[in-house]
């Protein structure tokens, strides 16, 4: 199957009992057993057929062995982190999602699991940060809001050479464009709240693993700590995933046009987008991903100018989150990255006038006209 076909026909397929084209929502907590120990499902935290249909679908899309659905992206990340124990060390991309950074520095540290944040687009920095107690490399590519790109296959080789788990948060590019397991990752994580759901109506997280034993371990953790995704939300996600292909294609096309417009705008300074040939890792991204995605950032001269743009756009909604049908716009310095001290923030390249955009599915002409009047 090619990609769009797999989005529609992947996973379990049509319901076997009555042939329903849309998977039934098994809104249930427990199941009748035929006899003691004789059942296919016992209790819905352990397994629910609707959730399982989604889990099989995402495993299929990512080219993994098993998938797992959680109540949020953070619940998925936290379940993966439960693979580690006191004394372990993990090497992590330095500009990971803010919630991941907070989880690792304020929750994971309570178990004395040590994390080193490095620029994972620099392979030497990654190699130098590996210690005898290192157990994993954890990356995002591209990152937020500066769209830094790390080389998945090269990092997989580094992880393998030191017997480390290699974990990739694939939220930004989705399996439609990028399948890290096929490039050597062991675990893929999603905030399915974003592109996979795609309609700003569900919070969910997914995990896919490349091997059965790891799958048994994650299932043990999922059942044991219980952050499972509810049946109705599982159904919503599958509904969203069916159209992921057409959404990603259209978003890609809209984003390319907006990037081209911004690059040529006299009031715009830098434009961050992996699709630009001058992006430092453009070639790496082009090699490992079928598309450049719908996330971009650009700078204007000052915070005041940025606020003017944000206040004047009509079709770009001022909101956190990303990956929805609606175009969203935000000011990282005052929103997602407000908790980082200004000096450190500037060091990271997150200027006061940096605007982040998640391109949606409106007519691109309307989006361009909107930016034009707002920048004026
Ligand atoms: C949003 C996001 C998360 C967290 O997911 P939630 O569904 O909000 O819990 C993790 N990683 C990335 C890259 C994200 O964008």
Ligand 1 atom closest to 322 (CA): 15
Name which of 68, 62, 16 is nearest 46 in CA terms: 68
CATH topology of domain 3-242: 3.40.640
With H, G, I as helix, E, B as strand and everything else as coil, classify residue 92. Answer: strand
289 pocket-lining for ligand 1 (C-beta < 6 Å) = no
Q: What is the pLDDT of residues 28-53, one digit of tens each?
A: 999 999 999 899 999 999 999 999 99
72 pocket-lining for ligand 1 (C-beta < 6 Å) = yes
Q: What is the pLDDT of residues 203-226, one digit of tens each?
A: 999 999 999 999 999 999 999 999
Residue 16 has a pLDDT of 80
Best mutation site among 93, 97, 297 for ligand 1, i.e. most ligand atoms within 8 A of its Cβ?
A: 97
Q: Is 184 left (phi over 0), alpha (psi -120 to 50) or beta?
A: left
Vertex 179: Cα angle to 120 and 186 (nearest 5): 65
CATH architecture of 245-375: Alpha-Beta Complex (3.90)
Rg over CA atoms, the chain: 21
370 pocket-lining for ligand 1 (C-beta < 6 Å) = no
Confidence of residue 340 (pLDDT cuts 50, 70, 90): confident
228 has a pLDDT exceeding 90: yes
Ligand 1 atom closest to 74 (CA): 9
Enumerate the domain spans of the chain: 3-242, 245-375
With H, G, I as helix, E, B as strand and everything else as coil, classify residue 226. Answer: coil
251 has a pLDDT exceeding 80: yes
């Amino acid at each position: 199957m090619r990609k769009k076909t797999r989005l529609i026909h992947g996973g379990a397929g049509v319901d076997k009992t009555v042939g329903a084209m849309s998977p039934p929502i098994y809104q249930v907590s427990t199941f009748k057993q035929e006899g003691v120990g004789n059942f296919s499902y016992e209790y819905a935290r352990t397994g629910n057929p609707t959730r399982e249909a989604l889990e099989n679908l995402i495993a299929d899309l990512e080219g993994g062995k098993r998938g797992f659905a959680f109540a949020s992206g953070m619940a998925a990340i936290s379940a993966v982190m439960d693979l580690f124990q006191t004394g372990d060390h993990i090497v992590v991309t330095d500009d990971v999602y803010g919630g991941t950074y907070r989880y690792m520095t304020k929750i994971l540290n309570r178990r004395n699991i040590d994390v080193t944040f490095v620029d994972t687009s620099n392979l030497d920095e990654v190699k130098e940060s590996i210690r005898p107690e290192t157990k994993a490399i954890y990356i995002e590519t591209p990152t937020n809001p500066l769209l830094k790109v790390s080389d998945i296959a090269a990092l997989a080789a580094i992880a393998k050479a030191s017997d480390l788990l290699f974990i990739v948060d694939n939220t930004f590019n989705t399996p439609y464009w990028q399948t890290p397991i096929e490039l050597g990752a062991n675990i893929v994580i999603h905030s399915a709240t974003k592109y996979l759901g795609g309609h700003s109506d569900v919070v969910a997280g997914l995990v896919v693993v490349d091997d059965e034993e790891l799958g048994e371990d994650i299932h043990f953790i999922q059942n044991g700590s219980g952050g499972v995704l509810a049946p109705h939300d599982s159904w919503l996600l599958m509904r969203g995933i069916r159209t992921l292909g057409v959404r990603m294609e259209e978003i890609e096309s809209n984003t390319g046009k907006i990037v081209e417009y911004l690059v040529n705008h006299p009031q715009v300074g830098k434009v961050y987008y992996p699709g630009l040939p001058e992006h430092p890792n453009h070639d790496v991204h082009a090699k490992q991903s079928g598309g450049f995605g719908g996330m971009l950032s650009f700078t204007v001269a000052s915070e005041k100018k940025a606020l003017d743009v944000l206040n004047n756009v009509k079709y770009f909604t001022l909101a956190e989150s990303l990956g929805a049908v609606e175009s969203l716009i935000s000011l990282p310095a005052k929103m997602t990255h407000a908790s980082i001290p200004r000096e450190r923030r500037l060091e990271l390249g997150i200027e006061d006038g940096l605007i982040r955009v998640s391109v949606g599915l409106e007519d691109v002409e309307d989006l361009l006209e909107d930016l034009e009047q707002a920048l004026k």
